[in-house]
Structure 1
Amino acid sequence: MKRSFRLRLALLLVLLAGSGLVGFSVVSWKLIYDAKVSRLDASLENQLRRSVRLPDGDRGTPERTHHLGEEERWQFYESMLSRELGTGLVALQVTQGNSVLYQSANWTADLDASALFRLLPEPTDLPETVPPNQDRRMRGDRPLTDRLSNFPFATRYKTSGAWRIGAIRFPQSEVAIAVSLQSIDQEMVVIRNIFLISIPVVLILVAVGAWTLSGQALRPIRQLTDAIQHVSAKGLDQRLSSQAIDVEFVELIQVFNQMLERLERSFKQASRFSADAAHELKTPLTILQGELDRTLQQAEAGSEMQQRLGSLFDEAHRLSEIVRKLLLLSLADAGQMSLYQAEVDLSAILVEMVDDLELLAPELTVQTEIADGLRVWGDRDLLIQVLQNLLSNAIKYNLPTGWLRIDAKQQSTMVLVTFSNASKELSAADRHRIFDRFHRGDPAHTRKVDGTGLGLSLAREIARAHGGDLTLDPDAPNQTSFTLSLAIAPHVTEVSS
């Protein structure tokens, strides 16, 4: 399975950013929640300190509480708590020993303050209170509320939600105040929703940014890939520019350019050697053929010497064909194949070849479907060689008493010629190497099938030099098909349009 480095890089950045954002959001939410609860605890502590003097009416408002009974004073204090704490969900419990002096209507067993009272000092350990009829300033004592510290707080949970409880103990009684955390919870829900909305938005922005930045970072790789895809015998002279490239990729570009330079030098040497060798062999082979032909004519008819000379003449001719094809291939590799282009009537050439099939392969069943007026633009002699190679290949590798079919038609701006013949099924290795030079269907390279293994390779190079191609059609049962594609003649395009 192919994996995208760019996608993995973007996903990794999103994962890291997402982990950081989620961690930051969780910590921030917890800190905000703790801060709000701490602020509530501070308010509760202030109210607990003020509750110490409430039963004596010493709250700075004696005119409002001195005429009230003790229970009424605590009710007044509870209503005051709702205003001071900014919430109506407040519960108050005042006890003395095991008896309850006052308890709010919404105080339930879930709001158990006994554990908090156990954390408070015993009444005997509390500072001595100041008699109401004695001035504290004359005693030099601090108020009792200033001498109390370490107020315990806890969170209790009811069916209606969480409550925060604070407690205080003084000699006369014990006071516990509970405040609902509903308002804080609602504020935290809003903050949570903000995080839930903002985090995906930020992650989308991070993903887009990571995808864009990774694409820009991988741009030199794409340039290198495009250059490699266009590397061919005609593209070895191209070089990639290292200007405006990140430092990390400069060395890679330089190594690639050096590799292309070595390949170009090696290819030119190989092409020059092939061309020079073929050219140098051409003259001696021509002389050898001439001498063998003359000696063959002088030999006694039907003699053993004549048979040997005839065999040598055939081998010299075969070697001459190989040299000629190698010379053409070396020219094609170097992009120097000379084409004498003109309008070629491909339909007429194919009809002539079909007429000769009765002599070349009388045992084969021949079927043709050749459209009239198929004209292409190219070198007539080279195109005839391609067609003859395909026809010869279809005859050589046909089955005994087999069949052969030739189809030629125009499709868009191309002429397609297909040669199909009955044959054994080609192996995957043969299909992969069918256009390799010197590759033959006969794995032992015996003379059961005459040939050099250069015909298909040369035919494809000639087709490509004409702007077309030669391809092996998809595998079909008991048959082999090759399709030659060539561009139609220029004036045919104007007529057809």
Structure 2
Amino acid sequence: MKLQNKLTLLFFSIGTIGLVLFHAAIFYFVSEFNFEDFFKRLQARAKLAAEINIYPDEKSIAYQEMRSRYLEKMEDEKDYVIRIDSLTRMQFERPVSLPETFYKTVVSKGDARYNKNNNFYYGKLFKTQHGNYIVIVTASDPSGFHELETLRKVLLIVFVISVLLTYVGGKIFSRYSVRPLTAVIRNVKNISANNLHLRLKELDGNDEMSELVLTFNNMLNRLETAFATQNNFVSNASHELKTPLTIITAETELVLAQKGISPETEASAKTILYHADKLGHIITSLLGLAQSGFDGKKQNWQKIRIDELIITVADAVKKIHPDSVIQIDFSSLPTEESLLCTEGNINLLQLALSNIVGNACKYSNNQLVDIRVSVENGRIAISITDRGIGIPESEQQHIFEPFFRASNTSDFEGHGIGLPLTLNIIRLHKGSIGIRSEEQKGTEMQIILPVSNNFLITA
């Protein structure tokens, strides 16, 4: 998940939880306020009911008149007066079916409250000279219940709107937050090995993004220095290494050209010449390996038809391995010729494919080697299959390491540089290499290359 989406989700989650708590708190406190207000009204009526029913005298008539004239008649309002003989024994009439805890609370604490299904009950204990009484007043509150239902609907609508606004705000917040990072990513994508002199624009401030840009620029400085050093080495190594090697080879050939040299001298000279030639091949391969992985500049890049390149590679390998048997399968090629074209350096690609096809012929003792070419989803697939000695499973992960040779290749000449060089070339062309091998059964190497962008047909 992208950082922007994570920030949006985090902002949305925190905002939604906050809105839930906020709206729940509003509904809770409003409902508690309504309940408290209603119970206070019941409490006032309980006192009036006590004055009217427990103390019947001239004032009772006045209280009754005041209640009927000035107090609003509540919905389903009823009064109950219960005389109790003893406060220790709960033996008295219960005109209202309420939980026993309600009556016990009235007796022990002096009053109690209870509500169920929008029916409210308030009970109060009155101690008089004539005895002890419990007055219970009950009523319903449809208007209050309706107000709470309206509040619930309003809060729900406001909550939905707030959630949507929170999501939009989260998107805006995340986009604004990652904008500097997006700019850095866009600029980094434009920096490659052939323009390492470019730097990211430093940001104002001392925040993490400014530190990231500064760190990346410092890394580019180090990379540019390292690449420049490698470039100098690659440029000078050919002359510095090959010149003395050429002299050694020439002097050795002069020795061999002389007449009358002893057999021991001739044998030694041939050994020197053999190893000088071998060293020359190693140096050439190492220089090729270094150059292929150096800068990625598209020097001498052109449109290359893979089918024609495969034919050229097969002919070149047959000249090196005259006894090789190479079979090319073009049956899966598309009818659109432009889909067979990739972009790259034809000499490098020919070298990479020749390495793989040559290895297939060499390590299979010139048994049949199949080359199959196909195109799918804008990618060119080249499969090279042999019936040779294969590669031990535990060693397959190391075959692209320089100078590594499988344990079963001791009878074959090689330096362990061809496949690393091939991998660098394929990566340089934005491709990939896959391998599937089994000892004593053979090896299949598959190279994937992109179809040229200029020729790629999109639906």
Normalising by the residue count of structure 1, what TM-score does the alignment of the two structures yield? 0.67
Preserved CA contact (<8 Å) 2:119 2:138: no
Preserved CA contact (<8 Å) 2:330 2:374: yes
After TM superposition, list the pairs within 5 Å mapping 1:84-483 onto structure 2.
84-94=71-81, 107-110=95-98, 118=107, 153-156=111-114, 161-166=119-124, 176-183=135-142, 184-185=144-145, 187-192=147-152, 194-195=154-155, 198-199=158-159, 202-203=162-163, 205-207=165-167, 209-210=169-170, 212-221=172-181, 233-234=193-194, 236-243=196-203, 247-298=207-258, 303-332=263-292, 333-335=294-296, 339=300, 345-346=308-309, 348-350=311-313, 352-353=315-316, 356=319, 359-361=322-324, 366-370=326-330, 381-398=347-364, 400=365, 402-408=367-373, 417-426=382-391, 430-436=395-401, 438-442=402-406, 448-462=411-425, 467=429, 469=431, 471-473=433-435, 478-483=442-447
Q: Secondary structure at the match of 1:472?
A: strand
TM-fit CA distance, 1:262: 1.0
How many residues are aligned here?
Answer: 431
Distance 1:394 1:320, change over 3 A: same
Distance 1:324 1:368, change over 3 A: same
Structure 2: how far apart are the matches of 1:331 and 1:376?
21
Aligned twin of 1:126: none
Q: Secondary structure at the match of 2:361?
A: helix
Preserved CA contact (<8 Å) 1:116 1:167: no
Preserved CA contact (<8 Å) 1:343 1:375: yes
TM-fit CA distance, 1:449: 3.0
Preserved CA contact (<8 Å) 1:347 1:375: no
TM-fit CA distance, 1:235: 5.6
Aligned twin of 1:129: none
Preserved CA contact (<8 Å) 1:48 1:167: no
TM-fit CA distance, 1:261: 1.0
Structure 2: how far apart are the matches of 1:42 and 1:376?
88
Preserved CA contact (<8 Å) 1:166 1:176: yes
Aligned twin of 2:37: 39
Distance 1:282 1:334, change over 3 A: farther
TM-fit CA distance, 1:280: 1.4
TM-fit CA distance, 1:447: 6.2
TM-fit CA distance, 1:250: 0.6
TM-fit CA distance, 1:276: 1.6
Structure 2: how far apart are the matches of 1:118 and 1:250?
73
Q: Which amino acid is the alignment partner of residue 309 of structure 1?
A: A
Distance 1:85 1:34, change over 3 A: farther
Distance 1:341 1:168, change over 3 A: closer
Give per-residue Cα distances to partners, 1:62-109, cap 9 Å, x unaligned.
Answer: 9xxxxxxxxxx7xx999x49x9445321111245676xxxxxxx9524
TM-fit CA distance, 1:254: 0.5
Preserved CA contact (<8 Å) 2:435 2:443: no
Preserved CA contact (<8 Å) 2:384 2:446: yes
Structure with bigger gyration radius:
1
Preserved CA contact (<8 Å) 1:473 1:481: yes
Q: Secondary structure at the match of 2:241?
A: helix
Structure 1: how far apart are the matches of 2:296 and 2:360?
29
Preserved CA contact (<8 Å) 1:44 1:166: no
Structure 1: how far apart are the matches of 2:280 and 2:103?
115
Structure 1: how far apart are the matches of 2:394 and 2:179?
37
After TM superposition, list the pairs within 5 Å mapping 1:16-35 onto structure 2.
16-17=14-15, 20-35=18-33
Structure 2: how far apart are the matches of 1:111 and 1:385?
95
Structure 2: how far apart are the matches of 1:118 and 1:410?
92
Q: Secondary structure at the match of 2:234?
A: helix
Aligned alpha-carbon RMSD (Å): 4.8
TM-fit CA distance, 1:259: 1.4
Q: Which runs of 5+ in 1 are unaligned?
A: 63-72, 99-105, 121-151
TM-fit CA distance, 1:164: 3.0
Aligned twin of 1:143: none
Preserved CA contact (<8 Å) 2:75 2:140: no
Q: Which amino acid is the alignment partner of residue 278 of structure 2?
A: R
Q: Secondary structure at the match of 1:422?
A: coil
Preserved CA contact (<8 Å) 2:367 2:386: yes
Distance 1:235 1:472, change over 3 A: farther
Structure 2: how far apart are the matches of 1:117 and 1:470?
85
Aligned twin of 1:130: none
Q: Which amino acid is the alignment partner of residue 294 of structure 1?
A: L
Preserved CA contact (<8 Å) 1:419 1:481: yes
